[in-house]
Structure 1
Amino acid sequence: MSKKDRRKVLARIWGTPTSRDIDFIDEGNEIVVASSSKGIVAWWLQIFQAVYPNIKYLEKGDVIKLKPTVDVSVKLNKTTRLMRITGKGHWRWFVDNFEQLLDEGNNEAETLSTADSSENSVTRYLQLDKDDALVQDLLDQIPEGGGIMQNDYIMRLWKSLLDDWFGVGAIVYVVTPRIDSERLFQMMLLMLRNKGTGFGVTLVTPTKTTDGEKFAKVMDMTKRRLKEVKVLAPSGHQKRLVSDVKVQWALDSLTIVHEDFSTNFIAAYKDDEAEVLTTTAHFHKSHFHFNLKDNVCYNRLPTNDLKRNYLLPLNVTSNIF
């Protein structure tokens, strides 16, 4: 199996809902499971003992060693909070069993999507707390029937609504004839922040804008940004904001539809209820990095009306019926 195929497998498993902030690093001869969560080692021990009732472990210094099968060794480090999975059968065991371990860890969790948010580097980077009142306060600023709003307000509302919709597991659509790498980067961070809620997201945008900007180039720039942005770790060292596995998960979780049009809106539905925010602002630096003013209108409507009046005219049909 190629490194990319292994990364896609790890990304799928990482997408399992978890009550702790974890990450995977594929070292070839071992899989490293990292976490900044306090008490993570005790959490893992509790999970292993529940899934493997007869398992025994050896503790030497800061390292705890377990053997879930004869050809797999698991080492937990109480100082670094790393789990190292090694042995001849480590890959097959991880693929076949790790989701079960994560599911077991969720059994006693009060919440999955927002747990550990105070320690999550993506959450800190976005500087966006889960606050339903904030979303409603922003919506309340839109005059009845819509109105003209400032660029910074539109950006805050755009991020807050997407975060809210991802957080409740809605089916989300981002429709714009122009999107830049910064907005796409932020959207993917919001996806990562809300992994495990069961949301779906589709970006509808042309393959090339009227001024010749190719979406493929925007996507390449976004991938580089995802891989290059670093944040300060609790240890005081710089670390990547988004790992390769998380980048892969975000890419695999985003559906892209190419159509030619000139409208802008974000929308979401769950069950029979839908919301749509329409605006004249492109989701692009040309609107958000300058002191521009644009029309904004927000509506709640039945899901069937959203599909019929907003999505079908753009030929977005393959994933809505």
Structure 2
Amino acid sequence: MSKKDRRRVLAQIWGTPTSHDIDMVDEGDQIVVFSNYRGVVGWWMEIFKTYYPNIKCKEKGDTIKIKPTVGVTIKLNKTTRLMKVYGKDHWPWFVDTFEILLDIGNGDAVELPSEGGSISENSVTRYLQLNKDDEEVQDLLDRIPEGGGIMHHEFIMRLWKSLLDDWFGVGAAVYIVTPRIDSERLFQIMLLMIRNKGTGFKVTLMTPAKQIDGERFDKIMERTRRRIKEVQGQQGARLVSDVKLEWVMLSLNVQHSEFSTNFIAAHKDEEGEVLTTTAHFHKSHFHHQQKDNVSYCRLSPHDLRKNYLLPLNIGNNVF
């Protein structure tokens, strides 16, 4: 199996809902799983004992060594909180078993205490400059005049991020429609996806293959992927690992069409929401003293599909 295929498999496993953030790296001869939570080693041990009731472990210093099956060895370090999975059969065991182990761990999911929070998730939150205590979505929506109005670029950017975060967080089907998007906005969408992994959301980005300013979307995506690999979080580590980036690429549904409207929308159960604006999701509207129309409404999923999605040939298979 190629490195790309192995990364895709790990991305699918990483996408399993967990009560806290973990990450994983494929080093070829071993897979390293890590988390910043203080109680993660005890959490792993409870999972292994549940799935393997007769499992034996050897403890020496800070290291716990267990052999879940023939050809597989696992080492847990209580200081670094690293789990190393190796042995001649470590890959097939990991592929066949690890999602099951994560599901067991979520059977009684409890948010574990952390030191400074989860490195990945909290860094993502800081990078996004999201603080829901100060910036509740409803407070922002209440500032939009009835029937819509002209709003400032900074307000539109805060509302754009907060609404998407809220919709991803409740597991909605989300649609982002714009004729022009830049790598910063695309990067923020990806971080919002990572922040809300496990909620079951679906996201579709509709944008022209050739943007209205002439730039091709595939170039924007290429620049975004390079940017993701360069941005660092705490302690000099990458903000987004290769596995998380692969999961985003697998989860983000990109469609291309020609149009000139801008909106974000979502539906879940029997409720739908739409935020329309004249602002492109691009730095030319969000980084300058720009003012644009903004309008927000709640509507039925049927009307969302009929009036907003079907005219753009999206949403045909989601209702």
TM-score band, normalised by shorter chain: over 0.9
CA deviation string 1:96-147 (max 9, x = no partner): 00011101111111469xx999323212322313459710000000000000
Give how far 1:224 is off.
0.7
Name which of structure 1's ranges 269-278 and 123-132 shifts more when overlaid on structure 2.
123-132
Q: Is the 8 A contact 1:118 1:124 kept in 2?
A: no
The corresponding residue for 2:240 is 242
Q: How does 1:215-234 map to 2 (within 5 A)?
A: 215-233=217-235
What CA distance in whole angstroms lies between the structure 1 residues aligned with 2:170 and 2:125? 17
Partner secondary structure for residue 118 of structure 1: coil
The corresponding residue for 2:3 is 3
Corresponding residue to 1:265 among 255, 263, 266: 263
What CA distance in whole angstroms lies between the structure 1 residues aligned with 2:316 and 2:30? 39
The corresponding residue for 1:305 is 303
Give how far 1:74 is off.
0.3
Identity of aligned residues (%): 68
Structure 1 37/110 Cα, relative in aligned 2: closer, same or farther at 3 Å?
A: closer
The corresponding residue for 1:214 is 216
Partner secondary structure for residue 38 of structure 1: coil
What CA distance in whole angstroms lies between the structure 2 residues aligned with 1:204 and 1:41? 42
What CA distance in whole angstroms lies between the structure 1 residues aligned with 2:22 and 2:222? 26
Q: How does 1:130-169 map to 2 (within 5 A)?
A: 130-131=132-133, 134-169=136-171
Q: Is the 8 A contact 2:272 2:304 kept in 1?
A: yes
Partner secondary structure for residue 280 of structure 2: coil
The corresponding residue for 2:101 is 101
Partner secondary structure for residue 240 of structure 1: coil
How many residues are paired up?
Answer: 315
What CA distance in whole angstroms lies between the structure 2 residues aligned with 1:294 and 1:71? 61
Give how far 1:27 is off.
0.3
What CA distance in whole angstroms lies between the structure 2 residues aligned with 1:311 and 1:277? 13
The corresponding residue for 1:205 is 207
Q: Is the 8 A contact 2:38 2:115 kept in 1?
A: no
Q: How does 1:1-321 map to 2 (within 5 A)?
A: 1-110=1-110, 118-119=117-118, 120=121, 121-131=123-133, 134-233=136-235, 238-321=236-319
Q: Is the 8 A contact 1:163 1:194 kept in 2?
A: yes
Partner secondary structure for residue 214 of structure 2: coil
What CA distance in whole angstroms lies between the structure 1 residues aligned with 2:271 and 2:263? 17
Q: Is the 8 A contact 2:182 2:283 kept in 1?
A: yes
Give how far 1:39 is off.
1.0
| Structure 2 unaligned blocks of 5 or more | none
Structure 1 97/117 Cα, relative in aligned 2: closer, same or farther at 3 Å?
A: farther
Give the AA of the match of 1:298: Y
Could you state the TM-score of these two structures normalised by the residue count of structure 1?
0.95
What CA distance in whole angstroms lies between the structure 2 residues aligned with 1:269 and 1:2? 38
Q: Is the 8 A contact 1:162 1:190 kept in 2?
A: yes
Q: Is the 8 A contact 1:19 1:116 kept in 2?
A: no
Q: Is the 8 A contact 1:71 1:87 kept in 2?
A: yes
Aligned Cα RMSD in Å? 1.6
| Structure 1 unaligned blocks of 5 or more | none
Give how far 1:320 is off.
2.4
Give how far 1:225 is off.
1.0
Partner secondary structure for residue 255 of structure 1: strand
